[in-house]
Amino acid sequence: MAYVDAEIASQPDCWRRAAELAAGVRADLPRCGERVAVVGCGTSWFMAMAYAALREQAGQGETDAFQASEFPAGRRYDRLVAITRSGTTTEVVDLLRALRGHVPTTVLVGDPETPAVRLADATVTLSFADERSVVQTRFATTALALLRAHLGENVETLAADAEVAVRAPLPIEPTRIEQVTFLGRGWTVGLAQEAALKCREAATFWAEAYPAMDYRHGPISIAAPGRLVWAFGTLPEGLVENVTATGAAFVHSRTHGCRTVLGSWAAGRTPVDPMADLILAQRFAVALATSRGLDPDAPRHLTRSVVLT
């Protein structure tokens, strides 16, 4: 069994631990009304995107997400939150160094003995969710679970959903698909980006991601029989019909159980929360890798952290 399989399966417990931790680290996390920037790279950036949208939706204050290298130096923020599993990613470390003494910073990190922790004003350590895998799964979702708990969400409900997602049959047989496009709206745009990244990283598979409303503005040209569209969260009206007309398969588990054109996934309980749905996409990516004869623990051209010299 690959490390990543065990890490994916441990997400329900990690989310519960994150919720317990959230209460004790409240002072280090964004307060209601603060103007906040959230940064990261790769997976961590996509979690930043999801959190930023959720925080604004919860009425907690203006929140922007940036890839760490694209942080707009001229803007004023009350706090910067950096998400980094490794704590060594160059763009994140450079930004924390540049903001030192100017903007209060908090880092959510997997490994506390790292440069990001030494540079940040406050640290939330999630070492219980750190991973052996290069391909991130549980650290990312656990960081987001902690931030969602801090927003007042009921993480126990999410964890119960995650229990379903780690066991449920996959919505579609990976060998039947030659391409996948993930879609989301609001906070699930970040999840869609993350799901596509998992397919690229773990399985070197052609995967794209878009805001669902933008899909009909060009990306739908890619849809065809043997290809898949997988949507997270709220579905735009008419999208299912538009995708189905192309002959592409369609997966969506949120509303009305599940729809899948090629499979028969609707039997049994399916995850409700999109973060649990992301677990299915993580498992799909690993299954894709295996079906292509690849080791998901040894992704091509990737290292656990990108440290630039």
In this structure, are residues 2 and 132 in contact, taking their beta carbons and an 8 Å threshold? no
136 is an interface residue for ligand F1P by CB under 6 A = yes
SS3 content of the chain, % helix, strand, coil (to 5): 45, 15, 40
Give the binding-site size for ligand F1P (rule: CB under 6 A). 16
In this structure, are residues 268 and 180 in contact, taking their beta carbons and an 8 Å threshold? no
Residue among 28 and 201 whose Cβ is closer to ligand F1P:
201
Q: Which of 35, 118, 292, 304 binds ligand F1P (CB under 6 A)?
A: 304
302 is an interface residue for ligand F1P by CB under 6 A = yes
Rounded to whole angstroms, the Cα distance separating 58 from 148 reads: 10
Which residues in 106-135 contact ligand F1P (CB under 6 A)? 134
What order of strands is seen across the sheet that includes strand 36-40? 63-67, 36-40, 79-84, 105-109, 122-125
181 is an interface residue for ligand F1P by CB under 6 A = no
User: Which of helix, strand or coil describes residue 208?
Assistant: strand
Residue 82 CB, shortest distance to ligand F1P, in Å, is 8
Residue among 180 and 248 whose Cβ is closer to ligand F1P:
180
160 is an interface residue for ligand F1P by CB under 6 A = no
Residue among 15 and 250 whose Cβ is closer to ligand F1P:
15
94 is an interface residue for ligand F1P by CB under 6 A = no
Rounded to whole angstroms, the Cα distance separating 74 from 86 reads: 27
Radius of gyration of the chain (CA): 19
Shortest CA distance to 178 belongs to which of 107, 247, 76, 109?
247
| Residue number with the smallest Cβ distance to ligand F1P | 42
Interface with ligand F1P (CB under 6 A): 41-44, 84-86, 89, 92, 134, 136, 201, 302, 304-306
